[in-house]
Amino acid sequence: MMSIHWLWTALALAAVWFFLQDLFLMKKRKRFPPGPKGLPIIGNLHLLGKNPHQDLAKLAKKHGPLMYMRFGYVPAIIVSSPEAAEKFLKTYDQVFASRPYHESSWYVSYEQRNLSFAQYGPYWRNMRKLCILQLLSSHKINSFLPMRREEVGTLVKSLKQAASDGAAVDLSAAISSLGANMSCLMIFGKKYMDKDFDDRGFRDVIGEALRLGATPNLGDYFPLLGVLDLQGLTRRFKDLAKVFDNFFEKIIDEHLQSQEHKQTKDVVDIMMGIMQSGEAEFEFDRRHVKAVLLDLLVASMDTSVTAVEWAISELLRRPEAMRKLQKELEDKVGLERTVEESDVEGLEYLDMVIKETMRLHPVAPLLLPHESMEDCTVDDFHIQKKSRIIINVYAIGHDPNVWPDPETFIPERFKDSNIDLRGQDFQLIPFGSGRRGCPGLQLGILLVRFVLAQLVHCFNWEPADNIKSTDLDMSETFGLVLSRAKHLKVVPTYRLQE
Ligand code: HEM
Answer yes or no: is 15 within a domain: no
Q: Each residue of 104-142: pLDDT tens digit?
A: 889 999 999 999 999 999 999 999 999 999 899 999 999
Answer yes or no: is 26 within a domain: no
In percent, how much of the chain has pLDDT > 70? 92
Answer yes or no: is 10 within a domain: no
Predicted model pTM? 0.92
Answer yes or no: is 6 within a domain: no
Mutate to test the pocket of ligand 1, among 87, 188, 438 (most ligand atoms within 8 A of CB): 438
Atom 29, ligand 1: residue with shortest CA distance:
440
According to the model, what pLDDT value does residue 1 have?
A: 47
Answer yes or no: is 274 within a domain: yes
According to the model, what pLDDT value does residue 23 have?
A: 57
Residues lining ligand 1, judged by CB closer than 6 Å?
115-116, 128, 295-296, 299-300, 303-304, 307, 363-364, 367-368, 430-432, 436-440, 443-444, 448
- Give residue 441 CA to ligand 1 midpoint distance, Å: 7
Q: Each residue of 221-262: pLDDT tens digit?
A: 987 777 888 888 889 999 989 989 998 999 999 888 875 667
Most confident of 25-29, 199-203, 350-354: 350-354
Answer yes or no: is 223 within a domain: yes
Q: Each residue of 359-400: pLDDT tens digit?
A: 999 999 999 999 999 999 999 999 999 999 999 999 999 999
- Give residue 85 CA to ligand 1 midpoint distance, Å: 17
According to the model, what pLDDT value does residue 210 have?
A: 79
| Mean pLDDT taken over the chain | 91
- Give residue 317 CA to ligand 1 midpoint distance, Å: 28
List the binding residues for heme: 438
- Give residue 365 CA to ligand 1 midpoint distance, Å: 12
According to the model, what pLDDT value does residue 259 have?
A: 59
The tally of domains found in the chain comes to 1
Answer yes or no: is 21 within a domain: no
CATH assignment of the domain containing 453: 1.10.630.10
Answer yes or no: is 5 within a domain: no
Q: Each residue of 73-111: pLDDT tens digit?
A: 899 999 999 999 999 999 999 999 999 999 888 999 999
Range of the domain at 324: 31-494
3-state secondary structure the chain: CHHHHHHHHHHHHHHHHHHHHHHHCHHHCCCCCCCCCCECCCECHHHCCCCHHHHHHHHHHHHCCEEEEEECCEEEEEECCHHHHHHHHHHCCCCCCECCCCHHHHHHCCCCCCCCCCCCCHHHHHHHHHHHHHHCCHHHHHHCHHHHHHHHHHHHHHHHHHHHHCCCEEHHHHHHHHHHHHHHHHHHCCCCCHHHCCCCCHHHHHHHHHHHHHCCCHHHHCHHHHHHCCCCHHHHHHHHHHHHHHHHHHHHHHHHHCCCCCCCCCHHHHHHHHHHHCCCCCCCCHHHHHHHHHHHHHHHHCHHHHHHHHHHHHHHHCHHHHHHHHHHHHHHHCCCCCCCHHHCCCCHHHHHHHHHHHHHCCCCCCCCCEECCCCEEECCEEECCCCEEEECHHHHHCCCCCCCCCCCCCHHHHCCCCCCCCCCCCCCCCCCCHHHCCCCHHHHHHHHHHHHHHHHHHEEEEECCCCCHHHCCCCEECCCCCEECCCCEEEEEECCCC
For range 316-329, the mean pLDDT: 98
